[in-house]
Structure 1
Amino acid sequence: MAERRVTVGWPEGLHARPAAVFVRAAASSGVPVTVAGPGGEPVNAASVLSVLGLGVEGGQEIVLASGADGADAALDRLAKLVSEGLDELPGAV
């Protein structure tokens, strides 16, 4: 199981637009990914309702995880997106 702990770089946290950006990136990563907020249970990172339900604020740490082949590369890309508060992944179409 690959795992990344990352601090959320979006000031507003994983709410509204940032959550949609994150979910779209997770869904297109090619591997199943879970995300857990501080002290919370992991949820499907490709589900906008699940991600919004975490209530993660800017500056809080989340845990991204996946046990699939290719997980390391996918988690690295998602961690960069989240930590830098980007509007999309570099190189995304």
Structure 2
Amino acid sequence: MVSKEVVIKNRAGIHARPAAMIVKTANEFDSQVYLEKDSTRINSKSIMGIITLGASFNTKLRVVAEGDDEEAAVEAIVHLFESRFEEE
């Protein structure tokens, strides 16, 4: 298992477009990929799960992956957050 903390830096938070980008990226990997907010863990391959997290600007999340390509999966998802989902 690999995990890394991220902070949402795009002003709009996680809305439909960033959620779709996360799902698309997570689905490129065989590993199970999750986002954790407080004590809630959701499947990053589920757009509805991501949207229901209610993750807004400056929210801290943990990206967690378990599987053969877990390190690459975490790095790819973290890159989306660091690039602010190409919104700014």
| TM-score bracket relative to the smaller structure | 0.7 to 0.9
What does 1:11-50 correspond to in 2, within 5 Å? 11-37=11-37, 39-50=38-49
Alignment partner, residue 4 of structure 2: 4
Provide the C-alpha distance between the structure 1 equivalents of 2:27 and 2:20, rounded to a whole number of angstroms.
Answer: 10
Any unmatched runs of 5+ in structure 1? 88-93
Which amino acid in structure 2 is aligned with residue 36 of structure 1?
E
8 Å CA contact retained: 1:10, 1:58 = yes
- Cα deviation digits, residues 43-90 of structure 1 (max 9, x gap): 100100000000000221111111211111110111011122134xxx
Say how many residue pairs are matched: 86
Shift of 1:9: 2.5
TM-score when scaled to structure 1? 0.82
Relative to its length, the structure with more strand (as a share) is 2
Question: If the length of structure 2 is used for normalisation, what is the TM-score?
Answer: 0.87
The alignment yields a C-alpha RMSD, in angstroms, of: 1.3
Is the 2:29–2:69 contact (alpha carbons within 8 Å) kept by the matching residues of 1?
A: no
Unaligned ranges ≥5, structure 2: none
Q: Among the aligned pairs, what percent are the same residue?
A: 23
